[in-house]
Chains A and B, each alone.
Chain A
Amino acid sequence: MKSLSSIIFAILLLSFQIFNQPASCKVATKRKVEKDFQRQDLEALALQASDGVIHFTPEMFDDYVTGKRRPYALIVFCSAAHLLDKQQLNLRGLRKEFGLLATEVRKSGKSGVFFVDLEFKESKSIFHRLGVQSLPWIVHVNPNVAVGADGVIKFKQDDTMRHDDYGHHHWKAEDMAAFLRDKTGINIEKVDRPSFSRSGLFPVVFLAAVLALGAIAYNLYYAEFMKNLVLWTMGVLFVYWFSVSGGMHNIIRGVPLYYPDQEGKIKVFLPSNQGQLGLEGFIMGFMYLLFGLTVASLTFAVPKLADPSHRRTAAYVCIVFAGLVFKQIVDNYTWKTGYRWRIYF
């Protein structure tokens, strides 16, 4: 008896399911259609965008991302307008590279992935939900990631491309393409950079530039000020100053001129043997130069003074001044490197 009732219950359950299925199917279909519409919307938006990157407002994020799953993947680039000009972050450059990749994907006709960017001030809550702690930050929203209406969205660790992932954040579009390949399987072999040097106009412009340069050079050659040695001396001294200040070091490493310490005071000197800050280098380069100039004036300017007593005073001033500069250089050097300095006589 008991077994009979359980069979009946099972049949009932089954029939209920059979009846129920079309209903749930309908909901699913409706949702699918809706999602497909959304997909078409996004495709249209991507086409409208200049470089294939769609700018998302928080509302759009809710519309297009929220849900259990989506028929498309999203690559989200998190940016902040007030940090765009910060050199170290290089957000502007990264955004450009991101755009290049998006254009490339759009050109290749591969579908199923959209490129999106978000702005911090506009979408603060979204940033919080994505868990963005530092910029630049690129995240891949997998079609199967469930995104609730609010609350933190959980991503896998490797779905993000983060600030310190590559040891540097001068990511190129190629790096992002590798990320894209890993995550979505869309393979972009080569990112085409719009370059002037490949256009047909290039040889003409190049020739024109060469001719213009030639003309300028021709005129300069006969210009009076080109024979002015003082000008040339200053040029050479500038090269000297720039090099000894480690100007190249500053450019290659991209070091800031100075940085504020914890108390907000500006620190100019880096107390480490390795590397330097920008301003520090220029100051020291200037001191090197100052010493040399003082010696030079002692040699050339002072003897030209007519009055012997003036001459003597000027010489003393030069010597004392050169001595002070020299002492300052050595002191800074000892402080910086820790190498002691001894004079053996």
Chain B
Amino acid sequence: MAFSLRLFSVVKYESVIHEFDPYFNFRVTIYLTKEGFYNLWNWFDDITWYPLGRVVGGTVYPGLIWTAGVMFKVLHALNVPINVQEVCVFTAPLFSAFCSLAAYLLVKEIRGRGAGLTAAAFMAMVPSYISRSVAGSFDNEGVAIFALVFVFFLYVKALNTGSLAWSSAAALAYLYMVASWGGYSFIINLLPIHCLASIFTGRLTAKLYIAYAPLIVLGTLEAASIPVVGFNAVLMSEHFGAFFAFGILHAALAIRYIKDILPVKAYNAAKTLVLTSGVVLMSGILLLVLFYVMSSPTFGWTGRSLSLLDPTYASKYIPIIASVSEHQPPAWPSYFTDLQAASILMPAGLIALFWPLTPASLFLILYACTAVYFSGVMVRLMLVLAPAACCLAGVALHEALAALFKGVHAEQREQESRPPKEDAKAKKPSSKPAKASFWSNLPGFSETGRPIPRDAALTRGGDGSIHIFDDFREGYAWLRYNTPEDAVVASWWDYGYQTTAMANRTVLVDNNTWNNTHIATVGRAMASPEKQAWEIYRALDVTHVLVIFGGFIGYPSDDINKFLWMVRIGGGVFPDIKEKDFLGEGGYRVDNKAGKALLDCLMYKLSYYRYAEASLMTTGQMGFDRVRNVQIGKMDVTLEYFEEVFTSEHWMVRIYKVLDRPARDIKLPNPRSTRGKPRKSSLS
């Protein structure tokens, strides 16, 4: 079911890759299948981040790409002639099916088979995960969530059995997780929390040691051998918690051992001694760590983690993190949208897990508790919460059903005097709300869960027919076939991956936001007046500029709406860009009360060039922007340093050529302009 639910996108839009990041992964996978696993490590990609380039092998989480590569190789070895693209499209649905199985195993370990089954059912259709693992969404999260749940399952299994084999398996699964997604730091922080909680609630057993210690040692070694993590595995503060818990675990075991071999009196004396010396030692170490940490401006934490602990951090200091829509804090409807019934069944699951409280159920409680907090900070982490919510909802539903049907079974077995019919009647409707909410998952996801591919936006026509706007692919195809191979395309970073993968052209910046300054340069160019922007672009050898414009058909996530972030990010590095220059009366607006700098800047010009006449034909009003619902502030846009070379059918993609030298006479009538031409009318 998990697999088939995710195939709707293929039915609806054909087998294509969606969104931005998957295009990059797709490109890397193609490289992998052509050049082999080993060469991938050394791949230097020269058509992105021009002129810097990017060392792909060392900066990518390779788990997903390996997975797809292995699947491709295996299928080809079996003489199944499948295209790389098909492998990539169907990887995520396949792994979501695995993820459901992993959820079943995890909850089975914690609460038995019935709960496992319901949890797996929830897992199969939780919208939050569907949105990331739908066919065509070839993204890290698709496999990483499976890896996450699987690591947890193996850990819990090791915890329950105390077997070193399961623990080693958990370490291996952890390797896969680290290779797949940056979210592994959630595991490496959750496990120590569980370990500490177990110690302090008196649940310290040899089994805990076997489950935890090998995972930390092996896991850290493994993490360090993934190039993108490398020595961060021991240097970043995010991993310190694990080592701290590791130390405490040993100390606690040592105390217990000593307690066993010493008489009570000697033990008490030793305890005081060890406590005092331990406290002194620990405070010394703490101070050292503190000084090390204080010496770095971000206290040794990565920006993303800091914004989790101090939620206001990102909005204050790192515009590039705050700018991404999935880093926004969610409001209450998000939980219902993303988790559906699982979100409201969670409390019942939490309560169910407390009685009885086993080490395994403690683990699930801690997992849910931390994940639900983190999801409150960033909507993207809803994805981490989703498995926890599904497991809890599974437990809750199972317990509720068990409680309700226990009566039925008891009646039948014990043959009491009361007629069983009546009792069954009494109990029957009781499963209804739970069931209804369970099944109502289905309609919910079909409305909201599935993302509309960014490269083919879709609207419903007045007669209910569906129009698919294929402007993005049209634009990229134009780039591919009409520009020289060494063309350098400048666009906002969102479109970098797609340009390299679909148009095969060099870009300045892409969705891997590793170099803030470079992105800021692009933002600065977009925010500068035409001449300065031209100078910046010439200095960077840019030949074409691509902008996304939604005003023609009302596509809201276009560059004009993203523009303020370009200004903020640009202004973060180049102080000559000031946000307030771009704000008009009462904030950001594009009509005649817009900020002066906005009306002069390149982005405005490239977006609205020739638009006034075009909108006259569609909206009947000169220069009416259908996204902002206003008449634009400057109708008569002329370009001196750029030449329009392509505008897609619905004006969503506009491509401009950067001229070698300024156009001589911009006052000449624009050959494409409709203005000034004698209008044909029925009278003439």
- Residues of A166-221 at the interface with B, using a CB-CB cut-off of 8 Å, are 166-167, 170, 178, 197, 203, 206-207, 210-211, 214, 221
**In the bound complex, what is the Cα–Cα distance between A309 and B404 (angstroms)?**
15
Q: Looking at A207, A227, A252, A288, which has the most chain B CB atoms within 10 Å of its CB?
A: A252
Asked whether any CB of chain B lies closer than 8 Å to the CB of A273, the reply is yes
Q: What A residues does B580 contact at CB under 8 A?
A: 165-167
Q: Looking at B344, B375, B439, which has the most chain A CB atoms within 10 Å of its CB?
A: B344
Kindly state the interface size class of chain B when it binds its partner: 35 or more
**In the bound complex, what is the Cα–Cα distance between A322 and B443 (angstroms)?**
20
Q: Say how far A188's CB is from chain B's closest CB, in angstroms.
A: 14
* Of A203, A253, A288, A302, the contact of B347 (CB 8 Å cutoff): A288
- Identify the stretch in A15-23, A25-33, A118-126, A334-342 within 8 Å (CB) of chain B at 4 or more residues: A334-342
A240 B583 Cβ-Cβ under 8 A: no
* Of B290, B294, B332, B400, the contact of A295 (CB 8 Å cutoff): B400
Asked whether any CB of chain B lies closer than 8 Å to the CB of A13, the reply is no
Q: What B residues does A252 contact at CB under 8 A?
A: 311-312, 315, 329, 377
Q: Given A166-B579, A292-B348, check contact A299 B399 (CB 8 Å).
A: yes
A298 B329 Cβ-Cβ under 8 A: no
Smallest CB-CB A-B distances: 3 pairs = A292-B347, A243-B376, A248-B376
Q: Which residue of A lies closest to B416 (CB)?
A: A308
A-B contact list, 29 entries, CB within 8 Å: A164-B586, A167-B583, A203-B287, A206-B290, A229-B357, A233-B354, A239-B373, A240-B350, A240-B372, A244-B332, A275-B331, A288-B343, A291-B344, A292-B345, A292-B348, A295-B345, A296-B351, A296-B396, A299-B396, A299-B400, A300-B399, A302-B403, A312-B426, A319-B430, A326-B436, A333-B333, A343-B440, A344-B439, A344-B443
B433 A240 Cβ-Cβ under 8 A: no
- Residues of A145-180 at the interface with B, using a CB-CB cut-off of 8 Å, are 164-167, 170, 178
A319 B433 Cβ-Cβ under 8 A: yes
Q: What A residues does B447 contact at CB under 8 A?
A: 339-340
* Of A251, A276, A319, the contact of B432 (CB 8 Å cutoff): A319
- Residue ranges of B at the interface with A (Cβ–Cβ < 8 Å): 200-201, 279, 282-283, 286-287, 290, 294, 311-312, 315-316, 329-337, 343-352, 354-355, 357, 365, 368-369, 372-373, 375-377, 396, 399-400, 402-404, 406-407, 418, 426-427, 429-430, 432-434, 436-437, 439-440, 442-444, 447-448, 564, 575, 579-580, 583, 586-588
* Of B332, B337, B400, B586, the contact of A298 (CB 8 Å cutoff): B400
Q: Which residue of B lies closest to A284 (CB)?
A: B332
- Residues of A309-345 at the interface with B, using a CB-CB cut-off of 8 Å, are 312, 315-316, 319, 322-323, 326, 329, 333, 336-337, 339-345
Q: What A residues does B349 contact at CB under 8 A?
A: 292
**In the bound complex, what is the Cα–Cα distance between A206 and B316 (angstroms)?**
27
Q: What B residues does A164 contact at CB under 8 A?
A: 583, 586-587
Q: What B residues does A52 contact at CB under 8 A?
A: none
Q: Given A336-B333, A337-B333, A343-B440, check contact A167 B354 (CB 8 Å).
A: no
* Of B337, B376, B427, B579, the contact of A247 (CB 8 Å cutoff): B376
A249 B448 Cβ-Cβ under 8 A: no
B331 A276 Cβ-Cβ under 8 A: yes
Q: What B residues does A308 contact at CB under 8 A?
A: 418
Asked whether any CB of chain B lies closer than 8 Å to the CB of A281, the reply is yes
Taking A236-B369, A300-B399, A323-B432 as given, write out 6 further A-B residue pairs in contact, using a Cβ cutoff of 8 Å, ordered by the A residue number.
A206-B290, A249-B329, A274-B331, A281-B332, A288-B332, A291-B344
**In the bound complex, what is the Cα–Cα distance between A342 and B336 (angstroms)?**
15
Q: Which residue of B lies closest to A253 (CB)?
A: B329
- Residues of A231-277 at the interface with B, using a CB-CB cut-off of 8 Å, are 232-233, 236-237, 239-240, 242-249, 251-253, 273-276
Asked whether any CB of chain B lies closer than 8 Å to the CB of A42, the reply is no
Q: Which residue of B lies closest to A303 (CB)?
A: B403
Q: What A residues does B440 contact at CB under 8 A?
A: 341, 343
